[in-house]
Structure 1
Amino acid sequence: MRMKPIFVAASLMLATALAGCTSDGSFQMFNSDYGSVSDAGYQLPAVPIYKVESKYRRQIVSYDTSERPGTVVVDTANKFLYFVMPGGKAVRYGIGVGREGFEWHGTARIAAKREWPTWTPPSAMIGRQPQLAKWRGGMPPGLMNPLGARAMYLFNGSGDSGYRLHGTPEWFSIGKAMSSGCIRLMNQDIIDLYNRAEVGAKVVVI
């Protein structure tokens, strides 16, 4: 039976939207992975991904680096985070980075990982924003917690750097410099990265 042209075209459009593969097969974009997620008793809302620039959506890209697979490379200038894979590939995520005066770079490692973490604002942040003093003992996990659904804690040679790779409910901040230095990802993306990156993994921030 011959399929109608309209049906064929619709099928091709749907396949492209879900798989996100380019015509030359150079990368895969995960457009369909930003729906509502039930996780540990929380219901993460869907991200209106059509409002996020395509370059900041999770995708597999070609990536030329001397870093070993499993390494996380944070490109603060371009607002990308790369999880290095074998074969010259990487998973690329869009990120939000530190605003002016809060930028940083260097090498660290993932010392710990937490699902639905508690957020404790540093004393310096409380000094700048006294209204946060109520969370001095820690803000409980939840949908509005600034660390989102996952956090990975970065340590360097001096111990806890104070910086984190973490989720955020503020999907609109991806691609911007708005944080106090931490690297933020959409919650659906931090869950994906959390499942890939291991404790002890090297993190390079450039």
Structure 2
Amino acid sequence: MTESTPSHSDSQPSGSSITEFAMSADATARVLRMNLVFTLVSIVFYIAISTLQFLSGNIWVGWFIAGLGAAAVLGAPLLSRHTTKRARLRFGDGTYEIRSGLGVQRLTAAEVVQVVRVDSVPLGLTPAAPLVIIVGATKRLAVVSGIVWNADQLGALALDLANRGVPLLSYSQRLTPAELRSMDRRWMHVWEAHPIAVGLILGFAAVLLVSAVVLVALAILR
């Protein structure tokens, strides 16, 4: 681990200019491949759950779950294309904009108290990739993944923050989200540190909730 703590300055560094990154062709292809795999896994999941409902005699519950699965499968490719085309990373004047298909995050150097760069982190179900974590006084402000942005782009972002006086921590070794959370609870949310356990709990709860809603609706209609 290395640490850099340059003197603090909110002014724009001499000679700097606005930098704006779009996703590279390799990153776009990588994200689309990953989403295809997740879509195939989702198909298997929804087929299994709906089949169990059909075999249990809950025909309408089975069709409802199958419909949810079809909507998710059809919507996933469209969301992926929208996300990759919309993604932007913009900085250079002391403000930072991270744009994705799900929205836009904006922050300023004055809000940031720490930036963490890790060379390899397996985040969620994605393969290990570089990661930049932007930290505020009480919470994480943003996380920028090497799945979407390449190492040079992440390095440029971290260096720009460091040049404005933000302390920079760099880790060259592979770290898990759980290890990062143990170092500082602001760096990773609990569901990122323990994705399998949280995912199983939420998935089971979702199936129970959907089944209960449909069963109540059928009881009312009878």
Report if TM-score (shorter chain) is over 0.5.
no
* TM-score, with structure 2 as normaliser: 0.29
* TM-score, with structure 1 as normaliser: 0.30
By percentage of residues, which structure has more strand?
1
Over alpha carbons, which structure has the higher Rg?
2
